[in-house]
Amino acid sequence: MSALGTAGRGGLRVIAIAGGKGGVGKTVLAVNLAVELAQRGDRVLLIDADIGAANAHLLLGVFPDAGIRDVAGGRVPIEDALFETTAGPTLLSGLGHEIESEPLDDCETLALLGALDSIGERFDAVVIDTSAGVGDNALFFAGAADEVVLVTTPEPTALADTYASARALCKRSGRSRLGLVVNHAFGPGIASAVHDRLQTLVGHFLGARIDLLGWLPFDPLVHDAVMVGQPIVATRPTSLVSRRMRTLAQDLSALACESPLAAERSALRFFWSSLPSRYGVGGGATVVPGWAAGLPARGRA
Ligand SMILES: Nc1ncnc2c1ncn2[C@@H]1O[C@H](COP(=O)(O)OP(=O)(O)OP(=O)(O)O)[C@@H](O)[C@H]1O
Ligand SMILES: [Mg+2]
């Protein structure tokens, strides 16, 4: 059975799109992946965690008037910040009333976790778009995912930044396996060469693994879709880039289903609630917020 279209059967999948270099296609991938999963029947939450430079809404042609920071700051209930898009996913935007790119502080993080906790059971898949590099916000959201996908292009500058991100993710959030998507690739050969170089570095210096999940060709149609605020998988479903997005969505969803985290929890609640202690948010393992009390110990470990 395909791992897609598993709505209502448990096994929430959380996929974070990350990457070192700006402009390599993280948001394009996150948005189209979310749309693709939604089109296949999953209830998808797309979180634009690029707080302060949010733009996933522009690729969907929508303009939410509240976002993560409003929810985290307690100014807006999460219900009012969730934006249902016609393309399929529900968007929690990185936009907000206040323009700040500072990482969320401990109080904001706990408030956000509590809010996400309350809506978790409504979704089958969560796709998180993060900012370039691995700052605190990106690390926090990537640390929460079953699958972390690093996006790169074949350029040496992008590879260097991708390796730096892999190092931060492995050292600071304890990951030993990452996924890789090579964007702007001319074909599988170049994607494989890029992967070989990164795997050599990641294996040798970090003792970790990076798996090539797929590649996307450079296609001016992507630019056209961005210009009109519509995801390319919706406007040009038969283009090569859309077909490759579709394959990626299918593979990623299956992979995320197999993750130990996904197997252990049946609702988002367990997952988000485990974050404060796992990643030192809110003072580490000694801080268990009220809404997390009563969860099984493993959910808070
Ligand atoms: N496969 C592709 N073919 C052609 N153009 C592409 C492709 N992928 C991305 N682009 C172009 O690159 C631009 C930047 O992509 P995107 O916003 O997804 O990058 P990003 O990694 O999210 O950047 P940032 O780090 O600033 O958040 C897009 O607006 C689009 O025009
Ligand atoms: Mg982006």
Per-residue pLDDT reduced to its tens digit, 254-288 = 876 766 655 554 445 445 555 544 444 433 333 33
Express each pLDDT in 20-60 by its tens digit.
899 999 999 999 999 999 999 999 999 999 888 899 999 99
Q: Which residues surround ligand 2, an ion (CB under 5 A)?
A: 26-27
Instruction: Dig out the tokens for 112 from the structure.
Output: 């956000």
**How far apart are alpha carbons 47 and 261 in whole angstroms?**
19
* Residue 31 parent element (H or E): helix 26-39
Average per-residue pLDDT in the chain?
83
Quickly state the pLDDT bin for 98 (edges 50, 70, 90): low
Instruction: Dig out the tokens for 32 from the structure.
Output: 């189209």
184 lines ligand 1 (CB under 6 A): yes
Express each pLDDT in 145-186 by its tens digit.
889 999 999 999 999 999 999 999 999 888 899 999 999 998
162 lines ligand 1 (CB under 6 A): no
Instruction: Give the pairing type, strands 90-92 and 82-84.
Output: antiparallel
Report all structural domains of the chain as residue ranges with CATH numbers, in order of start.
Answer: 13-300 (3.40.50.300)
By alpha-carbon position, which residue is closest to atom 11 of ligand 1? 223
* Residue 297 parent element (H or E): helix 297-300
By alpha-carbon position, which residue is closest to atom 23 of ligand 1? 23
Quickly state the pLDDT bin for 10 (edges 50, 70, 90): low
The CA-atom distances, in angstroms, between 90 and each of 20, 51, 113, 183, 199 are 26, 17, 17, 25, 34
By alpha-carbon position, which residue is closest to atom 6 of ligand 1? 222
Res. 289: pLDDT tops 70:
no
pLDDT at 287: 33
Quickly state the pLDDT bin for 133 (edges 50, 70, 90): confident
User: Which of 17, 27, 48, 165 for mutating ligand 1's site (highest number of atoms within 8 Å of CB)?
Assistant: 27
130 lines ligand 1 (CB under 6 A): no
